[in-house]
Amino acid sequence: MIINSRIKLPRVIRDMVNTSCMGLKSANQPIRTSDGCGGAYFMQDPLGLKYVSVFKPIDEEPLAINNPQRLPMSSDGEGLKRGTRVGEGALREVAAYILDHPRTGRRSLYREEIGFSGVPPTVMVRCLHKAFNHPEGFAHAEKNIKIGSLQMFMKNCGSCEDMGPQSFPVEEVHKISVLDIRLANADRHAGNILMSKEVEGQTKLIPIDHGYCLPESFEDCTFDWLYWPQARQPYNLDAIEYIRSLDAEEDIALIKFHGWDMPLASARILRISTMLLKKGVERGLTPFAIGSMMCRETLKKESIIEEIICEAKDSMLPGESESVFLESVSRIMDRHLDKLTMQG
């Protein structure tokens, strides 16, 4: 689905879509995964020998109308995580890929580089097949066309749930932390970080399942890596330089260019989380120190970043602009970070 005619998809995306289509035309039907709370389907290659991609229809998301796990529908449109909406998971999956910029800068049509954090290539597509969940039957083709995210299937040897974190390279954990802090991921657990082995035997971590990133609040931010030993080590120069290059305003414009007019609340979250990441790194703080400011210690105790936002709101006068609010957040955040730096 090309929302903007000026968008030119990189070859890796076009090849993934074409091969997935060829697999369907060769009668290799989608295979629904047994994991997760929503509908997700492995798309096969033309020979049926390997998986090419993973398709997630928006109407089969958790709490959506055609969810195959028979979860109840959302009564108010809110998703499983606070600050998310049912039916927007695919948009967030695609956004995570778009915003995972390569180290050299914005992704280019001519340079098919892997993003800093390694989010697999992801695109929004339309797809029609009887193997998807169609509670009302498959009689009318046009009515049954599914819209959702298509993500490249990544070869792996399991998830981070399958082994202890001690063996994970520090840089691999840190690249995941950069993505999660920046996008305020509300669903980062060890099961949605895949492991792969390079030819040299080095372990690579691959982040997947980003349907709950860029929420409208920080309430449900969750980072499993926060409790891994690598999170207490400082970022290296490569990561620091990458974080310094991030620009929330450019990212919001980029997402809009690709067809998603991000909710104002989500745009605010992206601005604040990017601000926190950049300020924290300049003070030499670790992923643990920065991430801990975004995650609640208990369900009812607000996180530090939530307290900062609340204080900034209380200081606002009626009619003041978003930029004034963000300046207030910045000042209050500086105070908290300076205190944290002195304690460390």
| pLDDT, tens digit, 9 for 90 and up, residues 41-53 | 999 999 999 999 9
Quote the CA–CA distance of 187 and 92 in Å, as a whole number. 12
Q: What is the pTM of this model?
A: 0.94
Quote the CA–CA distance of 49 and 29 in Å, as a whole number. 12
- Find the length of the chain: 344
Question: For the chain, first and last CA: distance in Å?
Answer: 49
Q: Which domain holds residue 189?
A: 160-301
Whether residue 133 is found in the same domain as residue 250: no
Whether residue 145 is found in the same domain as residue 260: no
β partners of residue 148: 57, 125
Q: Is residue 18 part of a domain?
A: yes
Whether residue 66 is found in the same domain as residue 133: yes
Q: Indicate the residue type of 22.
A: M
Whether residue 135 is found in the same domain as residue 210: no
The pLDDT tens digits of the residues spanning 228-277 come to 999 999 999 999 999 999 999 999 999 999 989 999 999 999 999 999 99
Domain count across the chain: 2
Q: Is residue 307 part of a domain?
A: no
Whether residue 209 is found in the same domain as residue 279: yes
In contact, 326 and 269? CB cutoff 8 Å: no
Quote the CA–CA distance of 234 and 243 in Å, as a whole number. 13
Q: Is residue 295 part of a domain?
A: yes
Task: Reply yes or no on whether the pLDDT at 104 is more than 60.
Answer: yes
Whether residue 133 is found in the same domain as residue 172: no
Whether residue 204 is found in the same domain as residue 245: yes
Whether residue 141 is found in the same domain as residue 270: no
The pLDDT tens digits of the residues spanning 116-126 come to 999 999 999 99
Give the CA diameter of the chain.
Answer: 66
Q: Is residue 21 part of a domain?
A: yes
Alpha helices in 191-286 (DSSP H): 237-245, 248-257, 264-282
**Is residue 204 within a helix (H) or strand (E), and if so which, with residue range?**
strand 203-207
Q: What proportions of the chain, in percent to the nearest 5, are helix, strand and coil? A: 40, 10, 45
pLDDT at site 69: 87
pLDDT at site 109: 55
Quote the CA–CA distance of 70 and 133 in Å, as a whole number. 11
3-state secondary structure at position 284: coil
Whether residue 123 is found in the same domain as residue 239: no
